[in-house]
């Protein structure tokens, strides 16, 4: 089975095939970003997260965000996989793997893509707190500003 560049999956994510997918002889850097489910937000204990997505549209948006980053930063190939379903503390929710001639562009592209995923991708996160309450998460910047 061929590893796709852009993918929405219920299965655990693995960065190794993505790094191999984007690597090329003219690329001096491969940066892997993994967004991991943490055990808290704003001092409140998190039990787990649930992600939902409109997968066909989300894959197209991920490809578009990669193309925007490639154009801005002059990178090589980019792969993005996002997980949906129930994710436990410590599991990867998203992987962004960027190849570029130099590390600076690869790091910048990965950060830009992660920010844009949160802004425009049709992927939704529900935080389930340790006390049993839950909350659909909107803009992360607005959440942080409220702290």
pLDDT, one tens digit per residue, over 81-138 is: 999 999 999 999 999 999 999 999 999 999 999 999 999 999 999 999 999 999 998 7
What span, in angstroms and rounded, lies between the C-alpha atoms of 138 and 104?
29
Domain at 6-146: CATH code = 3.90.1170.40
What is the distance, to the nearest Å, from the Cα of residue 100 to the centroid of all Cα atoms in its chain? 18
What span, in angstroms and rounded, lies between the C-alpha atoms of 132 and 122?
25
- A 10 A CB-CB count for 114 gives 17
- A 10 A CB-CB count for 146 gives 6
Domain boundaries, the chain: 6-146
pLDDT, one tens digit per residue, over 12-42 is: 999 999 999 999 999 999 999 999 999 999 8
């Amino acid at each position: 089975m061929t590893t796709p560049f852009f993918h929405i999956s219920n299965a655990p994510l693995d960065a190794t095939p993505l790094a191999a997918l984007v690597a090329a002889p003219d690329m001096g850097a491969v940066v892997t970003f993994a967004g991991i489910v943490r055990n808290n937000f704003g001092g409140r204990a998190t039990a787990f997260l649930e992600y939902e997505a409109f997968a066909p549209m989300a894959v197209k948006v991920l490809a578009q965000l990669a193309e925007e980053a490639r154009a801005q930063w002059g990178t090589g190939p980019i792969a993005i996989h996002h997980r949906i379903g129930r994710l436990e503390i410590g599991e990867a929710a998203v992987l962004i793997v960027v190849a570029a001639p130099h590390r600076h562009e690869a790091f910048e592209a990965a950060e830009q893509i992660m920010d844009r995923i949160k802004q425009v991708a049709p992927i939704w996160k529900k935080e389930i707190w340790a006390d049993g309450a839950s909350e659909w998460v909107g803009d992360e910047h607005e959440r942080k500003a409220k702290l």
